[in-house]
C-alpha cells in the first residue's frame, strides 16, 4: 500500500494539471475567430449617460465580432462600491477594459519623498496596466493631455476619454438671469455684484451640496485661476509639480498670502449660498435646483451633471460657465479635470479584443456620441465639443483652458487639512476663521510629512 501512494499522488496531480491546463486559455484571445464563444468584460462606474452609451457600443461591437459577447459591470461611486468592484475584478483577473479615474501626475511623487503610489497610480507603477502609447487609436487623442492624465515614465497607461470642469463650475438658469437683467459675469466683482442684486430681489443666488464638499469647487476654481495667471495651459503640470515640491521643501505653506486671498474670496462667495447647505447631499442637489426655476440662479457643481439636471427639468433653459475668480477677465480661464480613463489590465485574457473595443470607442462617430451622452469635454484633437445648448459658453472659452492643478503630495492617512484648507470647518459652513483654518492646514501638512 505504502509504495503505491506516491504513484497515486503523481497520477492524480498529472490528471489535475491536465484538467486545469485545459481550462486556461492558450493565447490572449483564445476562441476569438475560431468559432468559440468569447466574453469581453468591460467595467465602469454608474454614470447614466456613460452606461447608456457603453451598452450601445457593446451591441455594435458584438455585431462586428460574431462569437464575442461583451458584458458590462457597473457600480456607483458612492460609498466605495465602485472601488470594491474594480478591486475584486482585478483580483480575479476577470476584466478586460476597466474605467479608472485618471491618476494624474500627483499620484507619482518623486522617490525622495519616499511616498508610495496608491490607487490606480500603484497599478501603473507596478506594471499592472498595459501601455497603450503605441496603439493606433491613441493618435486620435491629444498626447500631452493623455500623458498628464495617465502617463508614467514615457508610457501612457490608459485612454482618458472624459474630462469635465469641476473647479469653479457653475450651472445657471439663463431665463432667471435674463429676468433680472444679468448676463454671465466675467470678473469676480461682477459676480459678487450679480449675487448682491439677486439677494436684494429676494432670491438666494447659489445652491450647493456642501455636505459632499461641492463648495470646495469655489476655492479650487479661484486657486487655479490665480495660480495659473499669466501661464500657458501646457505649463499646468509643471506648476503643480513646482508647487508640490515647494510645499515638500517648506518654501511654500498654506499660510502664504495667496492662500489667504483665495480663502477670503471663497468665504465672500459663500455668503450667497442657501441656508443649511451643509446638509444637502450631491445626490439630491441637481434635482432640487433644477425644479426650482424661480430661485437659485446658480448651482455649484461639475459639468458632469448636465444629463441629471436636464432629466430633472427638461424645460430648463440651462447654461454653464466657470466662476470668475479674479478681476482680470483674461485670467478667469477654464480648468478641466481629467476623469474617466479606460485602462487594459495586464491580466486581461482578451487584450487584442480589448484594443479593438477601444479602437471602436475612439472612432470619431462613436466618440462624438460618447460626448453627447456624457457631456464630457473632448479629449480627441479632431473631435470638437458637442453643440449641447448648455455648452455654448464652454465652447467659446476652451482655447486657453488648462488641466486643473493637483494638490501637494501627502502621505497615506494624512488629515484633510494637510491637502488644503478644511472647508467643512471654515466659516460659513464651519465656525472657524480663515486664519485658524490656514494655520491648522499648514501645521497638518508639516506634521504629516514629518517636519
Partner 1 sequence: MARCPFGTQRTRRFIPWASIAIPGAGWLLFGLYPSLATIGYSFTRYSGLPGTPLNFCGLCNYSAAFTSLSSVVGDAVRVTLVYVVGATVLQTAAGLGLALLLNRPGRSYAVYRAVIFMPQIFSVAVVGAIFALMFDPYSGPVQKVVNGLFGATSAFLGSSSLALPLVILVNVWMFSGYTMLIYIAGLRNIPPSVYEAAAMDGAGRLRVFRHVTWPLLAPATTVTVFLTAMGTLGEYALLMVLTGGNFGTKTLGLYMYQSAFGGDSQLGYGSMLAMLQFFLTVVIGGGLLFTLRRREISL
Backbone angles phi, psi at 261, to 5 degrees: -65, -40
Q: Which is nearer to partner 1, 128 or 187 (CB)?
A: 128
Q: Which is nearer to partner 1, 113 or 317 (CB)?
A: 113
Closest CA to 78 of 376, 303, 289, 283: 283
Decide if 281 contacts 139 (C-beta within 8 A).
Answer: no
Minimum CB distance to partner 1, residue 324 (Å): 27
Cis peptide before 428 (omega within 30 of 0): yes
Q: Which is nearer to partner 1, 32 or 129 (CB)?
A: 129
The size of the chain, in residues, is: 451
Minimum CB distance to partner 1, residue 28 (Å): 17
Q: Which is nearer to partner 1, 84 or 183 (CB)?
A: 84
Q: Which is nearer to partner 1, 230 or 413 (CB)?
A: 413
| Burial label, 51 (beta-carbon count in 10 A; 0-12, 13-18, 19+) | middle
Q: Which is nearer to partner 1, 60 or 415 (CB)?
A: 415
Rama region for 421: left / alpha / beta (φ>0; ψ in -120 to 50; rest): beta
Cα 236 from Cα 238, distance rounded (Å): 5
Q: Which is nearer to partner 1, 66 or 450 (CB)?
A: 450
What the block records as the C-alpha cell of 421 is 484648507
Backbone angles phi, psi at 354, to 5 degrees: -60, -40
State how far Cα 17 lies from the chain centre: 44
Q: Which is nearer to partner 1, 39 or 295 (CB)?
A: 295
Backbone angles phi, psi at 208, to 5 degrees: -155, 145
Which residues does 404 contact at the CB level (< 8 Å), separation at least 6? 166, 167, 220, 224, 236, 335, 336, 337, 338
Q: Which is nearer to partner 1, 110 or 389 (CB)?
A: 110
Minimum CB distance to partner 1, residue 293 (Å): 15
Minimum CB distance to partner 1, residue 116 (Å): 4
| Burial label, 18 (beta-carbon count in 10 A; 0-12, 13-18, 19+) | exposed
What the block records as the C-alpha cell of 26 is 492558450
* Footprint on this chain of partner 1 (rule: CB under 8 A): 79-80, 83-84, 87, 90-91, 93, 101, 107, 116-119, 121-123, 125-128, 210-213, 274-281, 283-284, 287-288, 346-347, 411-415, 424-425, 429-431, 444, 447-450
Cα 128 from Cα 122, distance rounded (Å): 8
Residue 250: helix, strand or coil by DSSP? coil
Q: Which is nearer to partner 1, 12 or 78 (CB)?
A: 78
Q: Which is nearer to partner 1, 373 or 419 (CB)?
A: 419
Rama region for 304: left / alpha / beta (φ>0; ψ in -120 to 50; rest): alpha
Minimum CB distance to partner 1, residue 129 (Å): 10
Q: What is the DSSP letter of 426?
A: B
Minimum CB distance to partner 1, residue 371 (Å): 25
Minimum CB distance to partner 1, residue 103 (Å): 9
Minimum CB distance to partner 1, residue 128 (Å): 4
Q: Which residue has the cell 469647487?
A: 217
Minimum CB distance to partner 1, residue 123 (Å): 6
Q: Which long-range contacts (CB under 8 A, 24 or more apart) does 364-371 make?
A: 364/140, 366/57, 366/60, 367/140, 367/161, 369/53, 369/56, 370/50, 370/53, 370/161, 370/162
Minimum CB distance to partner 1, residue 199 (Å): 18
Decide if 85 contacts 75 (C-beta within 8 A).
Answer: yes
Decide if 376 contacts 164 (C-beta within 8 A).
Answer: yes
Minimum CB distance to partner 1, residue 444 (Å): 7
Amino acid at each position: 500500500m505504502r509504495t503505491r501512494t506516491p504513484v497515486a499522488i503523481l497520477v492524480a496531480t498529472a490528471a489535475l494539471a491536465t484538467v486545469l491546463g485545459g481550462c486556461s486559455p492558450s493565447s490572449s484571445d483564445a476562441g476569438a475567430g475560431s468559432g468559440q464563444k468569447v466574453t469581453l468584460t468591460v467595467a465602469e462606474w454608474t454614470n447614466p449617460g456613460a452606461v447608456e452609451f457603453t451598452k450601445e457600443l457593446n451591441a455594435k461591437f458584438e455585431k462586428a465580432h460574431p462569437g464575442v459577447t461583451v458584458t458590462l459591470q457597473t457600480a456607483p461611486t458612492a460609498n466605495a462600491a465602485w472601488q470594491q468592484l474594480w478591486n475584486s475584478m482585478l483580483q480575479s483577473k476577470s476584466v478586460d477594459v476597466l474605467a479608472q479615474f485618471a491618476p494624474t501626475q500627483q499620484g507619482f511623487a518623486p522617490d525622495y519623498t519616499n511616498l508610495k503610489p496608491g490607487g490606480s497610480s500603484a497599478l501603473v507603477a507596478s506594471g499592472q496596466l498595459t501601455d497603450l502609447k503605441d496603439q493606433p487609436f491613441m493618435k486620435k487623442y491629444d498626447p500631452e493631455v493623455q500623458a498628464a492624465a495617465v502617463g508614467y515614465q514615457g508610457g501612457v497607461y490608459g485612454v482618458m476619454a472624459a474630462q469635465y470642469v469641476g473647479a469653479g463650475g457653475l450651472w445657471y438658469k439663463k431665463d432667471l438671469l435674463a429676468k433680472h437683467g444679468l448676463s454671465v459675469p466675467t470678473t469676480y466683482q461682477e459676480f459678487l455684484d450679480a449675487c448682491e442684486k439677486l439677494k436684494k430681489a429676494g432670491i438666494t443666488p447659489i445652491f450647493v451640496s456642501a455636505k459632499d464638499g461641492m463648495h470646495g469647487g469655489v476655492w479650487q476654481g479661484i486657486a487655479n485661476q490665480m495660480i495659473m495667471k499669466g501661464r500657458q495651459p501646457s505649463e499646468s503640470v509643471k506648476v503643480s509639480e513646482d508647487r508640490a515640491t515647494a510645499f515638500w521643501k517648506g518654501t511654500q505653506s498654506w499660510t502664504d498670502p495667496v492662500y489667504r486671498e483665495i480663502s477670503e474670496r471663497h468665504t465672500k462667495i459663500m455668503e450667497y449660498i442657501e441656508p443649511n447647505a451643509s446638509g444637502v447631499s450631491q445626490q439630491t442637489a441637481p434635482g432640487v435646483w433644477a425644479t426650482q426655476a424661480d430661485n437659485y440662479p446658480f448651482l455649484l457643481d461639475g459639468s458632469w451633471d448636465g444629463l441629471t439636471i436636464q432629466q430633472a427639468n427638461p424645460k430648463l433653459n440651462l447654461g454653464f460657465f466657470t466662476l470668475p475668480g479674479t478681476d482680470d477677465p483674461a485670467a478667469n480661464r477654464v480648468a478641466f479635470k481629467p476623469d474617466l480613463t479606460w485602462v487594459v489590465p495586464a491580466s486581461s485574457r482578451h487584450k487584442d479584443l480589448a484594443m479593438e473595443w477601444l479602437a471602436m470607442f475612439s472612432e470619431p462617430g462613436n466618440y462624438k456620441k460618447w460626448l453627447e451622452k456624457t457631456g464630457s469635454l473632448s479629449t480627441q484633437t479632431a473631435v470638437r465639443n458637442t453643440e449641447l445648448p448648455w455648452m455654448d459658453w464652454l465652447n467659446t472659452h476652451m482655447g486657453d483652458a488648462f488641466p486643473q492643478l493637483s494638490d501637494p503630495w501627502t502621505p497615506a492617512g494624512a488629515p484633510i487639512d494637510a491637502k488644503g484648507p478644511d472647508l467643512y470647518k471654515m466659516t460659513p459652513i464651519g465656525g472657524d476663521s480663515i486664519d485658524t483654518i490656514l494655520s491648522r492646514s499648514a501645521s497638518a501638512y508639516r506634521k504629516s510629512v514629518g517636519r
